[in-house]
Amino acid sequence: QVHLMESGGGVVQPGRSLRLSCAVSGFSFNYYAMHWVRQAPGKGLEWVAGISYDSSSHFSADPVRGRFSISRDNSNNTLYLQMNTLRPDDTAIYFCARVGNIQLWGHLDSWGPGVQVTVSS
Amino acid sequence: SYVLTQSPSVSVAPGKTADITCGGDNLETQSVNWYKQRPGQAPVMVIYSDSDRPSGIPERFTGSKSGITATLTINRVEAGDEADYYCQVWDSSSLGVFGSGTRVTVL
């Protein structure tokens, strides 16, 4: 059974850093592209970043480019999101999601439950 | 940046049909995915590649597209269908794009 679980969230001051992890099980992690999607309080879904199955390609959304970086460790079945220079508008629930086919830009067929990140002084 | 437009809300009586639309420039060339999200829960994919339904999703959920408008149709609506629904595409310039979401209320 496919399982994704995020961790590493919490309350952090503006300007500080945080690293999110997404541990997966139940499938061959090294065959699938992965993405991070976030949801600010009371708002809709927002794509954050994506990475190919072999880490050869990775992209991020304009609001986080240069501050956030996505990476993965296929030997440990874990996806990461390094978040630097955090701002209050980064406050959101962060979800990791698996692409349902071999493409980087495919449908997101499995999601973790999400982890809360709050940026506040 | 690329924008997907959804109506904010749709209300439907149990047993009736709900149509949720999603519009965007050049959508006819894009592959549209749809996600359902209930309060406090993670999104669940209900339609991918315009009209394909993943295993475990009831046949009552169908997707279609005509020109620049994609439609998610929920037939024989049930109380459990009450949720927010988001369309999504991958755009060459904006990359990941979600619609603003449509809240479906079952009367």
- At A103 the pLDDT is 85
CB contact under 8 A, B98 and A107: no
pLDDT at position A14 is 98
Query: What is the average per-residue pLDDT within A11-38?
Result: 97
H helix or E strand, kind and range, residue B12 = strand B9-12
Q: Is B1's Cβ below 8 Å from some Cβ in A?
A: yes
DSSP assigned state of B31: P
A-chain residues within 8 Å CB-CB of B90?
105
Distance in angstroms (rounded) separating the CA atoms of residues B88 and B98: 4
Tell me the pLDDT tens digit for each residue of A61-116. 999 999 999 999 999 999 999 999 999 999 999 999 999 987 889 899 999 999 99
pLDDT digits (tens, 9 = 90+) for B35-52: 999 999 999 999 999 999
- Contact B3/A at CB under 8 A: no
**A103 to chain B: closest CA residue:** B90
| Residue B60, burial from CB neighbour count under 10 angstroms (0-12, 13-18, 19+) | middle
Torsions phi, psi for A88 (to 5 deg): -55, -30
Q: Give the pLDDT band (50/70/90) at residue B92.
A: confident
Q: Are B50 and B70 in contact (CB under 8 A)?
A: yes
Q: Does A56 touch chain B (CB under 8 A)?
A: no
